[in-house]
Amino acid sequence: MGDVTRQEMWTLLGLEEVDELVYRALLEHPGRMPTDVAARAEVSFEEFDRSAATLVGLRLVRRVDDRLEALEPRAALTALARQRQSVLDQVGDVAQDLGMTFGAARLKADPATLFQVLRGRDEIVQRHIELVQAATSSIWVTATPPFITGTDEATDAVVQAALRRGVRIRVVYDTSALRDPVIYEYLAESAGRGEQTRVRPDLRTRLILVDEGTAMVPVVPETERSDPRAVVIARSSVTQALCELFEYHWAQAEPLHEHGDRGQRSDGAVDRELLVLLANGLTDQVIAHRLGCSERTLRRRIAELSTQLAATSRFQLGASAARRGLL
């Protein structure tokens, strides 16, 4: 949703244009008689009288003897906005219930309505944005190569807005994401914003689940010769199965540790992570980035571990570590 105009803002609060004129006149000319305020607002007395009743009802002004007195606008307007937001939240709850009723009725009448086929990247991105905007409790994602992160400002904006309104976001990435420093940096930033991020090897499933009910799954990848295809699946036994699949991947995945956490770990814990990362085939650049050290420091530590474990190659280092139960 884009930025609203000033008049749209007043309308959302329950005020018409004439009400704004009267309200501003009361703020700018306190203590004046009603006829004087009406004249300064350039409205008829009948319009002034109707607006006065509206403003009093919204608790933006109060009657004092034969005059109107505006209340402190920061407090009064904030209170009114919160009241309206509470109503909008209730509308959202009702919309969720009605949506479930609507979906169940359509599915019963025609099972084919369970699926919505999306064609082309633009259509997929737009539907993705709509799903995130509609989320009220949770967004679950599994991500596999190719990774496209941080490239769409509109998508990032709605994700951050979802986090601000309390939506819980959990994402499982394939460990290949850690091999790219740019992608890894994005994951760390996402975790810092409040996303719960985990990684696991050999992840093959790519999906988005919203409020444990609606799913979006790619079915045809984008190539030079064809546009991508995806399918949106309405709440059903299919999405229930996909939720269980996500929970399986989540349980199998490991948390993405932030740099601050690594700095507080013991040398032994850091060495174990180093060995695991080596075993996963990550590059020195990515491992150093993950451990929060320079590549020179990393290579020196690998050399020290190789000496301790009597290994002459990284392959032997991994094998020796595995035999000693360090992996």
Would you say residue 105 has pLDDT above 60? Answer: yes
pLDDT band at 211 (very low <50, low <70, confident <90, very high): very high
The conformational region for residue 152 under phi > 0 = left, psi -120 to 50 = alpha, else beta, is: beta
Question: What is the fold, at CATH topology level, of the domain defined by 259-323?
Answer: Arc Repressor Mutant, subunit A (1.10.10)
Q: Of residues 263 and 117, which shows the higher confidence score? A: 117
pLDDT of amino acid 111: 65
Would you say residue 228 has pLDDT above 80? Answer: yes
Report helix, strand or coil for 149. coil
pLDDT of amino acid 263: 37
Would you say residue 265 has pLDDT above 50? Answer: no
Q: Cα-flanking dihedrals φ and ψ of residue 223, to 5°?
A: -135, 175
Asked: is 122-255 a CATH 3.30.870.10 domain? The reply is: yes
Domain boundaries, the chain: 1-109, 122-255, 259-323
- Which of 148-152, 237-241, 282-286, 311-315 is most confident? 237-241
* Domains 1-109 and 259-323 equal at CATH topology level: yes
Mean pLDDT of 165-188: 83
Q: Is 207 exposed, middle or buried (0-12, 13-18, 19+ CB in 10 A)?
A: buried
Q: What is the pLDDT of residues 142-159, one digit of tens each?
A: 988 776 655 567 788 899
pLDDT band at 15 (very low <50, low <70, confident <90, very high): confident
Name the percent of the chain lying above pLDDT 90: 13
In 224-275, DSSP assigns E strands to: 229-233, 254-255
Q: Which residue has the tokens 């009267």?
A: 22
pLDDT of amino acid 214: 92
Torsion, Cα 261 267 270 271, to 10 degrees, reads 180
Mean pLDDT of 162-172: 90
Residues counted in the chain:
327
pLDDT band at 327 (very low <50, low <70, confident <90, very high): low
Contact 166, 211 (CB under 8 A): no
pLDDT of amino acid 64: 86
Would you say residue 101 has pLDDT above 60? Answer: yes
Mean pLDDT of 313-319: 77
Contact 212, 138 (CB under 8 A): yes
| Choices 1.10.730.10, 3.40.50.300, 3.40.50.150, 1.10.10.10: CATH for 1-109 | 1.10.10.10
The CA angle 95-155-12, to the nearest 5 degrees, is: 45
pLDDT of amino acid 112: 63
Contact 16, 55 (CB under 8 A): no
pLDDT of amino acid 261: 44
**pTM, two decimal places:** 0.52
Q: Tell me the sheet residues that pair with 199.
A: 173, 254
Q: Give the C-alpha separation, 214 to 308, whole Å.
A: 53
